[in-house]
Structure formats: structure tokens, C-alpha cells
Amino acid sequence: MLSATAIVISALSTSLIRKRDPAGAPGDHSARSYDETHRRVRFTGYDGMFEVKCFVTVDVLARGLALRAPGEREYLEALDKMRAIILDAAKRAYNSNPPVAVLLDLSNFR
């Protein structure tokens, strides 16, 4: 089995490469997506060659937002701004018991 500490959150890493989507918004939006139904942002991590689905709830992302009604764009930007914190929380959650998917909520950030 691969080392759990090898997890790399690719969506967060690639978001550092600033691109523009067709609408002109900065960021690589293809690497992560907003799920309005479940109120979370999905991104992908890797443990060696194994893909790990990762999710972070909007409650976590909204902590730093001043907007009353943030939407997809604001949540994706918040994910980029909180990259280091989210990456650390994802590694801790994955290392504690490597699941098929990692779901990060407020309890992962205390």
C-alpha cells in the first residue's frame, strides 16, 4: 500500500497556475467544481496513482467571505485562498484512515 502521506491535492496545486476561463475569470476552474445540491466544492487528490475524491463544505469556505449570498465563483476563489489550510486538513483526514473520499467540514479546521 502506498504511503498516505503522499497525497497530493492536484486541484489545489494546479489552481496556482493562473489562467482565464472563457468568461475572463482568473483561475483554473476545470480542476474543481461547485456542487450546489450538496453545498460543497469537489477537488481531486492523488495517493501515488490512486485518485482520491475530496470535498470541502461551503461552511468552511464561507468563513472568510463577507458576502451575504456567495455563489460558485466566490466559493472557488475561497478554495484558492485557503489552499494551504485545506491541503493540511485533507492530509490529516486522509492519513487518519484512508477513505475512498475525503469530506472536510468545520470539524476538520478546529
DSSP E strands in the chain: the ranges are: 8-9, 32-35, 40-47, 50-57, 101-104
Provide the pLDDT confidence category of residue 54 given band limits of 50, 70 and 90: very high
* Gyration radius of the chain's alpha carbons: 14
Within a 10 A sphere around the Cβ of 42, how many other Cβ atoms? 16
Q: How far apart are CA 11 and CA 98, in angstroms?
A: 19
Question: How many CA atoms lie less than 13 Å away from 60 in the CB half-sphere?
Answer: 25
Per-residue pLDDT tens digits for 25-47 = 444 445 789 999 999 999 988 88
- Asked whether the predicted pLDDT for residue 90 surpasses 70, the reply is yes
4-109 topology per CATH: Double Stranded RNA Binding Domain (3.30.160)
Residue ranges covered by each domain of the chain: 4-109
Lowest mean pLDDT across 8-17, 31-40, 51-60? 8-17
Q: Look up cell 489550510; give the residue.
A: 85
